[in-house]
Structure 1
Amino acid sequence: MIDIDDWFQSAIDDYELKNIPFENFGKKKKKIGRGGFGDIYSTTCKSIPSISAIPEVIALKGVSVGEEDSGMSIKRFLNELKLHSMAKNDRIIKFFGVSRDEDNDQYYLIIEFADGGDLRGYLTRNKNNIQWEEKLNLAIQITEGIAYIHNELNTAHRDLHTKNILIHKGSAKISDFGLSKCLDSTITTRSKIFGVIPFIEPQVFHDRRYKPDKKSDIYSLGVLFWEISSCCTPFRDVNHTTLGNEIFMGLREKPVPETPLEYVQIYSGCWETEPTQRFELNYIIDRLKTTSLTPVFEDPIIPESETPSDLYLKIDNNFASLSIITDLDISTNIRVQHVSSSINSKNYLKTTVKPIKISLPLRTIGELWLLNFFEKFYLFNLMILLLSSWFFNI
């Protein structure tokens, strides 16, 4: 059990942290959010000779030890202190020290103030003008940050989502290590689910004893990448009381129109249900850096006047009935002609050609070649069929 009277000083000594007097901060403090165990404020900070890099405006991230779950809050607070004291990377939000407001029994981490807010808010505000080049850069920066946490700190973040990614001067920075776990340590079995449901891997909803690890972060990256592509909250129209079970059963968000197909392939490879099938971080970074912005995903467009029965060729006198295949798994943008033909009672041919735009994922060049071959073969036989029908009805 943590002794509330001495845990703070012990943390300062153990992690060699800077203890900044609370009087150094401005009296006006603006609440800008809430972390896993306390409110977050922005405020000014006086110059501190021993911390030359501390900026004029900082963020105070607090924990209240008076809350009912103070023991858990302090443990998470200490965990974040430890990891922040170790992390030295531009993709991680900067950490300057700790402070205590004795009047209100509040403890704070002093961290970098992110002028762009969290990623979710940033995407929402810029939904109509953010370009794909910037989206890819954000995805790369976040992945590089996770790679640093995994490789240099040997730690899994375990709570990765768009509100834990902060934007400062146009760059993405990872924050909130409260649920992070060093993989050299023993992970305590827990019965509660912590985190934001859309970003949690399926295994957690099936087995409460499941231990999230680095592959859990890869799954969360996939959902995070999707949110970057859409600028929308994932599963916003799904009831969250049943969402966990639906994710376990295979529910995933659908690609957003105009998303580069390579990007869709990347995040789909991240959120695979089976952890061993998820992409590796180095592979993800390499793919993101070389991703082409074309071709893009587009929704299939079928005229509203059409019914499923319109999607095949039919000759009225039952001479023949042929189907047009529309569900080939080919990853490119193609145009398939919808042919509707009939021979009426006056024995003349009437043909209409209607375009249907179909967007599907290209796996191999061979599949596209086969499609073109069978399309030409189909049209050739159709011509023979129609000419024969016309000839025998003269």
Structure 2
Amino acid sequence: MPDGANAAGAQLVVLHIALQVARALACLHPTVLHRDLKPANVLIVDAGSDLPVAKLGDFGLSRLDSTVLITHSPEVGTVPYMAPEVFEPSNHEVTDRADIYALGVLLWEMLSGCRPWEGSGLVQVAYTVTALHKRLPMDAIPPERRLPKLEALINECWDAVPARRPAAAEVVKALALAQEPTPVRPYSAPATPGNDEGA
């Protein structure tokens, strides 16, 4: 994994791509749900540049507003990116917050470089996220790419209660803030007792 300036640059690219995806969702929500957000549906232009252009594609599963559907059907998304409520047989309503959950998974994947729930099938993933309430491990993200603000945002996107997840517009704001450099306080040497002027 890269370190130093390379790691910082990679993190900035991830933030740049995630911000564009979040902005696209903000334009869609709450009227239109994408329902299949994953890397294959994020089209990258000028991938080799420092600031690649990301476009959201494949709206084959998109629907208007909250949708009544059979939520345990694989047709409503791609398993590793599906929100817990989508797996619930008793739940017949999917809202835009399911896209936000998927965005959190996408962000985790870009930062970690790992496939979410790799090797696990529909039943195992469903049981893990709904019954065990487990989420993807943050320690899979290399230390040089970890950022407390990003981890907090990802966890908010993964909230078990859809209504508690941030709206796409709120994710846009959070990602924009995460791009800002952390201010460094100027160092000031501690005062030495007895050296004050006039003492």
Could you say whether these structures have the same fold, taking a TM-score greater than 0.5 normalized by the shorter chain as the test?
A: yes
Q: 1:161 aligns with which of 38, 41, 48?
A: 38
- Secondary structure of the structure 2 residue equivalent to 1:207: coil
Report the counterpart of residue 195 of structure 2 in structure 1.
Answer: none
Residue 271 of structure 1 corresponds to which residue in structure 2? Answer: 158
> How many residues are paired up?
165
Q: Which moved more, 1:165-174 or 1:230-239?
A: 230-239
Equivalent position to 1:172, from 36, 47, 54: 54
1:260 aligned residue (147, 172, 185): 147
Larger strand proportion, structure 1 or 2?
Answer: 1
Rounded Cα–Cα distance in structure 2 between residues aligned with 1:293 and 1:234: 29
Deviations 1:101-144 (Å, cap 9, x if unpaired)?
A: xxxxxxxxxxxxxxxxxxxxxxxxxx989611111101100000
User: How far apart, CA to CA, are the structure 2 residues paired with 1:128 and 1:196?
Assistant: 29
Structure 2 SS opposite 1:286: helix
Call closer, same or farther: CA 1:250–1:290 in 2, change over 3 Å.
Answer: same
C-alpha contact (below 8 Å) 1:193/1:208 kept by paired residues:
no
CA distance in structure 1 between the partners assigned to 2:26 and 2:85 by the alignment: 22
Query: 1:78-97, aligned counterparts within 5 Å?
Result: none
Q: CA deviation at 1:251?
A: 1.8
Q: Does 1:251 align with 2:96?
A: no
Unaligned stretches of 5+ residues in structure 2: 1-5, 47-51, 183-199
Partner of 2:24: 145
> Which secondary structure does the structure 2 equivalent of 1:163 belong to?
helix
Q: Deviations over 1:145-196 (max 9, x none)?
A: 1111115xx2111111111111012211101111100128xx4533623221
| Other-structure match for 1:192 | 73
Deviations 1:269-326 (A, max 9, x none): 01111111111222211111111566xxxxxxxxxxxxxxxxxxxxxxxxxxxxxxxx
Q: Which runs of 5+ in 1 are unaligned?
A: 1-126, 295-394
- Conserved? CA contact 1:260–1:293, under 8 Å: no
Amino acid at match of 1:163: A
1:6-34 per-position Cα deviation (integer Å, ceiling 9, x unaligned)? xxxxxxxxxxxxxxxxxxxxxxxxxxxxx
Cα distance, 1:242 vs structure 2? 1.2
Matched residue, 2:92: 210
Instruction: Verify: 1:223 aligned to 2:105, yes or no.
Output: yes
Match of 2:117 in 1: 235
Moved over 3 A (4+): 127-130, 237-241
Task: Check whether the contact 2:85–2:91 (CA below 8 A) recurs between aligned residues.
Answer: no
Residue 241 (structure 1) shift: 4.0
Matches within 5 A, 1:1-394: 131-150=10-29, 154-169=31-46, 170-183=52-65, 187-190=67-70, 192-194=73-75, 195-207=77-89, 209-248=91-130, 249-255=132-138, 256=141, 257-258=143-144, 259-291=146-178
Distance 1:163 1:202 in 2: 21
- In the alignment, the residues of structure 2 paired with residue 217 and residue 137 of structure 1 have an alpha-carbon distance, to the nearest angstrom, of 18
- The one-letter amino acid paired with 1:131 is A
C-alpha distance in 1 between matches for 2:150 and 2:69? 35
1:33 corresponds to: none
User: Is the partner of 1:173 in helix, strand or coil?
Assistant: strand
Cα gap change, 1:277 to 1:209, in 2 (>3 Å): closer
Q: CA separation in 1, counterparts of 2:26 and 2:116?
A: 24
Higher helix share: 2
For the residues of structure 2 that align with 1:181 and 1:265, how far apart are their CA atoms? 29
Identical amino acids, percent of aligned pairs: 27
